[in-house]
Structure 1
Amino acid sequence: SDNKNTKNKSVINSNLIGQTVKNRYEIESILGHGGLCDVYLAKDKILESSGSESPYVALKVLQKEFASQPETARMLIREAQQTQRLSHPNVIRVFDFGVDGDIYFLVMEYIDGETLESLIQRSRPNGLKYHAMLSILNQILDALSYAHSLGVVHADLKPANVILTSEGHVKLLDFGVSKTHQIKHDQYAAKRKTED
């Protein structure tokens, strides 16, 4: 049944290939499917015309069946706003977001790499080398520490939401279900004291 659903989604989503979103982002291929969104490789016509060495971006698009649901559209917009607040080398950059007709989209930097989930699968049965894993974990912790310092909690951290470049550079993805942690340190300390 899962294969059938994936196949149908591919047919539906392949309709976007060749389309241009917001007269700027030319969709070339599909990079992946998620629960609510699909991610495409797109060429940014403005970057291309400016002579950019890499005019490619990742275009995250809300699947059509969810576009009419206000809560899912709000979640995509919240992801864009939360991620735009985060300027860190280990957090994916969001450049743009919006709506073009019935297409709700988010434009992110394109990372040519693989997910940590894929790397873990590929490294079985021996597992990852200690120093490589330590480097990956340190980069993830740096990104999370930075996000937490701004009051943003990822809330969906998993190997599929971590991408690595061939050089081993880590980027955290998918802040879609992130939460703004608003409790202040003093409030937390006071709450802890009353619980003790």
Structure 2
Amino acid sequence: MSVLRSRGNWAFPLILAVALGGVSFWLDRITEVKTVEIPLNPKEPKYVINTIHGERFDDNGQLSESIQASAARQFPQQTVIYIDNPDMSLYKNGTELYRIQAKSGQYYTDSRKVDLLGQVNWLKHQVGDEPEGHLQTSILHVDTQTQVIKTDAPVAYRYGMSSGTSQGFEYDKQRGFLNLPARVRAIIYDPHSH
């Protein structure tokens, strides 16, 4: 078991919590679709939205967040929205900082939690002295309220010249706490030590 206090090199995967906090903005908007309450077949979607493309801009008119998906749907009497092929980006000063993609996603409207499923890829672009980072796994559980991200699935990551794998991880952004619970293998390169 490895438990690490987040330093610059270890904080990289979990800016994802902040990025997904922005994504929850879009998912909240989807849930605001007004429908007439009539008895519906619980096996048929209450609504289906195809080809989603949304953008959000900051106070200066620059792009701050975007989300794309091939479809989203919600079933009657359920609090989960199913999303196909989510592709989400977070920008700063109009430049893409993070991009998160998955085969599918599930957004729970009551708890504001997100499950990203199947070929989850997260890319952090290089910014100043911070190198590019990349995280891959098969599933990520994200709590947009507490900003905790976790998975029990194998994880592979690269951050600049550092890289590694782990069986699962958990990150609590508010506490700055990263836990790599099992089978950790890492090559850590500290550019400041040379």
| TM-score, normalisation: structure 1 | 0.22
Higher relative contact order (CA 8 A, sep 6+): 2
Larger strand share, 1 or 2: 2
Larger helix share, 1 or 2: 1
- Which has the higher Rg, Structure 1 or Structure 2? 1
